[in-house]
Structure formats: structure tokens, C-alpha cells
């Protein structure tokens, strides 16, 4: 599985946000065993490095909350890895806890600008709202892109603003499912509607 190369070395001020919280509510289904074989042209990109875009790409919008959310991004990336696509994953592994959420902070600005650029260039934007998070930035992003014709949403029962999310999706004609198991085929369906040819023998 191709990934963005990095020589990053975390320091004492960095926190690991990749692990994510334990999936105590079973929001994610088990991954298949053995794991799917990645397509030779599949690539997984994280900030701060510039993405390498294939003809089709998926931005993983949704819950992170500094690692408090379950790592659904890893799960979706693995599930979609048999496709010749770029995964745009804003969960960057280690985050500098000293960074301030202001436009003047270089680390923060780099992260936000990476996300805004990737959202704009993605073929599909896949949202997952972890029911145990607030995810205000994800709500902002959904509002920005709901009318783009490239959004798919998974909003499990119990998410605190689930009613708002579902009504926005209903109004704007956005596919919205309640389980992660339904999210993967919806993302693939939208990719196919935008011209992606699924390799022979690959099923979702």
C-alpha cells in the first residue's frame, strides 16, 4: 500500500492521535481476513505532505477530535485499498500539542489549508460521525460541501446532532447511512458514478 513518504520524528510535545479510542460500541465491522490486497495504484496521503492525486480520490472527512474518535479512517482506507484511488486522510498521526488553533500558528494553518485543498480536489468526500464525539469541524465541512454532489455520509444512531445531519442530507440529496457497513458500498457507488472502473473480481 503506497503512502506519503515522511521523515517526521515526533518530539516531547507531540501526541499520537492515530490510535483512536477503543470501539466499545462496535461502530466498525470486523475487517475481512485476510485483508484485501491493495491495488498497485492505490495511495494513502496524510498532511503535511502534498497529496499525489489519482484520477479518483476520497477525502476522509469526519470525526478525529485529537484522537478521541475511533480510527475509522484506517478501516475505510483498508476497505477501499483494492481500488486505484488516492485516499486523502487528514488524521496525521502525531500532532504538536503546543500548536494553537489560530491562523497565525504555522502548524495549525498548514493542517487546515491541507484539508481545505484536499476537500476541494477530492472526487468523493466520505463523512463518518463517531457517536461518542461532538465533531464540530466535521459539521462545518458538511455544511460547506453538502451541495457539491460528491458527499456520502455515515451518521450512526446516537450522534448528538444526528437529526441535523440527516435533515441536511435529505434536503440536499446526500446519501446518508447509519452504519459503517453501508458506507463502503456507498462510497464505491459514488466513485463509479464519477467514472471509476472497479477492477474485475473486487467486491464490496
pLDDT of residue 98: 82
pLDDT of residue 6: 45
Identify each DSSP E strand in the chain by its residue range: 2-3, 14-16, 43-45, 57-62, 86-88, 94-96, 124-128, 151-154, 176-177
Per CATH, domain 36-92+101-193 is 2.40.110.10: no
pLDDT of residue 2: 54
Domains of the chain, by residue range, sit at 36-92+101-193
pLDDT higher than threshold 70 for residue 49 = yes
Q: Which residues pair with residue 44 across a beta bridge?
A: 3, 87
Read off the pLDDT of each residue in 120-134 and give the average, rounded to a whole number.
97
pLDDT of residue 17: 64
Amino acid at each position: 500500500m503506497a503512502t506519503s513518504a515522511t521523515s517526521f520524528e515526533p518530539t516531547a510535545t507531540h501526541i499520537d492521535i492515530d490510535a483512536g479510542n477503543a470501539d466499545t460500541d462496535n461502530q466498525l465491522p470486523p475487517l475481512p481476513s485476510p485483508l484485501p490486497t491493495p491495488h498497485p495504484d492505490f495511495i494513502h496521503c496524510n498532511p503535511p505532505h502534498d497529496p499525489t492525486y489519482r484520477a479518483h480520490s476520497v477525502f476522509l472527512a469526519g470525526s478525529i477530535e485529537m484522537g478521541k474518535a475511533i480510527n475509522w479512517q484506517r478501516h475505510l482506507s483498508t476497505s477501499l485499498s483494492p481500488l486505484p484511488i488516492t485516499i486523502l486522510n487528514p488524521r496525521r498521526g502525531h500532532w504538536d500539542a503546543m500548536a494553537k488553533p489560530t491562523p497565525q500558528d504555522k502548524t495549525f494553518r498548514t493542517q487546515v489549508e491541507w484539508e481545505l485543498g484536499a476537500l476541494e480536489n477530492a472526487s468523493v468526500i466520505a463523512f463518518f460521525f463517531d457517536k461518542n464525539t461532538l465533531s464540530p469541524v466535521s459539521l462545518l465541512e458538511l455544511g460547506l460541501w453538502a451541495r457539491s454532489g460528491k458527499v456520502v455520509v455515515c451518521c450512526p444512531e446516537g450522534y448528538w446532532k444526528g437529526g441535523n445531519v440527516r435533515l441536511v442530507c435529505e434536503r440536499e440529496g446526500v446519501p446518508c447511512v447509519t452504519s459503517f457497513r453501508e458506507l463502503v458500498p456507498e462510497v464505491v457507488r459514488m466513485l463509479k458514478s464519477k467514472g471509476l472502473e472497479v477492477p474485475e473480481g473486487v467486491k464490496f
